[in-house]
Structure 1
Amino acid sequence: MQLTLAGRRALITGGSRGLGLATAHAMAGAGARVVLIGRDQAALDAAAASIPSSTPVRADIATAEGCEHAFRAAESALGGIDILVNNAGTSKRGPFTAISDAEWQADLDLKLFAAIRLARLAWPGMAERRYGRIINVLNTGAKAPPPTGAPTAVSRAAGLALTKILAGEGAPLGINVNALLVGKIDSDQWVRRHAADPGGQSYEEWMEEAGQSIPMRRMGRAEEFAAMALALASQPGDYVTGTAINVDGGASPVT
């Protein structure tokens, strides 16, 4: 089956690197025009140069003003938004008593409130056109939060609840809302973790070792994640809404 997004318009947060950039490549390759949202202008420009049909927009979506700017710029560039991929986020975690109020708030602002605000902005146009696809990128901690998994597992669990609520409200309007739950997938986040590891292993050796704890005995690839996002955004996802799909090589204890 040839997956196509010809004529569709996508807004992808965290689109300059990692999973967001891989998703942008997949959607643009299927015919969509895409807007890449990020905070690093140099990274955005490099990403946009690799995708001729893309538009880079610098915005801090951890704020209400940043979300408004990002959406309005994307809407102006594309004429409307058919697909929203809420991908921006970090993996902040640690012992519960060590997490400050400021860290809690920053995590919720970036991972939960950004998704709420952008979905709210995109919703009227999607409802009017009777077509919309919203994909919330979470992690497997949303279903199976580990010890020392806060604050990220808490904000991701809230994102899971948001996904189900929006799916129920959007179904009669032609708006499908789903979540993709990330496990260990080779991305910019893992490059940073390797850089902070004093062990002296090469990146390839370090990643191979990290993948041994996964049933598939390897880390996932960003392109594999992007393929799932593309499937949800295109025709195979037409009758799929309110789901939370693990993209984790079988690692999560929860289906």
Structure 2
Amino acid sequence: MNIDFTGRKVLVSGSTSGIGFATAKGFLQAGAQVVINGRSQESVDGALQRLGELAGKAIGFAGDLGSEAGVDKLVAEHSAFDVVINNLGVFNPQDFFEIPDSEWQRFFDINVMSGVRLSRAYAQGMVERKWGRIVFISSESAVNIPADMIHYGFSKTAQLAVSRGLAKRLAGTGVTVNAVLPGPTLSEGVAQMLSSTVESSGESLEKVAADFVNAHRSSSIIQRAASVEEVANMIIYVSSEQASATTGAALRVDGGVIDSIV
């Protein structure tokens, strides 16, 4: 299978690190022109530098796409995309009784409304061109709501509702809309969360992450954390020409954590 995005312009929100960066890199390797997004110019510049020679087909955009003003700024600079990857997101373990209204609103604005606004801004152009891909990066936490991150699980479930509904709204247009559900993934954020255990135990990050998965996601079939590249591979495939019959789907890259045959 030869996945080729030559001539396609791609947006990956929140793409200076983690799954977003791996996804942006994969699109660049497949020939796309990619907008790299982070909230600060420093983070964007750092991501472009890490891309090396691939940075020649990348465009940096510093702006908070979790805000209406940030999306407006992006639209003013980039009027059209062929592929929009709604990856921007935040997570933070916190007990339900300690989560203030402001955190519920922050998670909703960043994890849900960023994708709503970006899809609303660019989907109609895709329809006019009779081709496009929109992908929401949800989580297995959308199905297995974590007791210590209920606000996060809520926001990821909301993404699935938006993704499925928008796919139906765009029926027959040549534009597909899907969600990808990563499970435990060894991103920079997870590595930072586990750093104290790595330091105190003297074990490798991969071993500590595997122990975490087995302790907190015991239904995992692969019994380890996925790499960011493994998740990016699914995102890139479902955005390709080859995935034209897949829409309205929730595609799991969760290592089998969700105990379901469908």
Q: Per the shorter chain, which TM-score range?
A: over 0.9
In structure 2, distance between residues paired with 1:198 and 1:85 = 32
TM superposition score normalised by structure 1: 0.93
Q: Which amino acid aligns with 2:16?
A: S
The verdict on how the C-alpha distance between 1:42 and 1:229 changes in structure 2, with shifts beyond 3 A counting, is same
**Whole-Å separation in 2 of the counterparts to 1:184 and 1:28:** 25
Q: List runs of 5+ in structure 2 lacking aligned partners.
A: none
Question: What's the counterpart of residue 205 of structure 1?
Answer: 207
Within the candidate set 248, 253, 256, 1:250 is matched to 256
Choose which of 59, 65, 71 in structure 2 pairs with 1:67.
71
Which residues in structure 2 correspond to 1:45-194 (within 5 Å)? Answer: 45-49=45-49, 50=51, 51-52=54-55, 53-75=57-79, 80-194=80-194
> Retained in 1: the 8 A contact 2:66–2:110?
yes
1:4 Cα deviation after fit? 0.8
* Counterpart contact for 1:14–1:87, Cα < 8 Å: yes
1:6: Cα distance to partner? 1.1
- Cα distance in 1 for residues equivalent to 2:110 and 2:12: 14
Shift of 1:70: 2.3
Q: CA separation in 2, counterparts of 1:183 and 1:198?
A: 21
Once the two structures are overlaid, the 10-residue window that deviates more, 41-50 or 135-144, is 41-50
**Counterpart amino acid of residue 78 in structure 2:** A
* Secondary structure class of the residue paired with 1:3: coil
Rounded to whole Å, the distance in 2 between the matches of 1:38 and 1:132 is 23
Root-mean-square deviation (Å): 1.6
CA shift, 1:69, in A, is 1.2
Indicate if the aligned counterparts of 1:112 and 1:158 stay in contact, CA closer than 8 A: yes
Q: What CA distance in whole angstroms lies between the structure 1 residues aligned with 2:40 and 2:67? A: 16
**Is 1:220 paired with 2:226?**
yes
Q: CA deviation at 1:12?
A: 0.5
Q: Normalization by structure 2: what TM-score? A: 0.90
- In 2: Cα distance, 1:97 partner to 1:208 partner: 29
Tell me the CA shift for residue 171 of structure 1. 2.2
**Aligned partners of 1:139 and 1:205: how far apart in 2?**
22
Distance 1:107 1:197 in 2: 27
Task: Pick which of 216-225 and 98-107 moved more.
Answer: 216-225
Name stretches of at least 5 consecutive residues in structure 1 with no aligned partner.
none
Residue 198 of structure 1 and its aligned partner are, at CA, apart by: 8.1
Give the Cα separation in 1 of the matches to 2:84 and 2:76.
13
Q: Is the CA contact 2:39–2:63 (under 8 Å) kept in the aligned structure 1?
A: yes
Q: How many residues align?
A: 251
8 Å Cα contact 1:140/1:182 also seen in 2: yes
- What's the % identity of the aligned pairs? 29
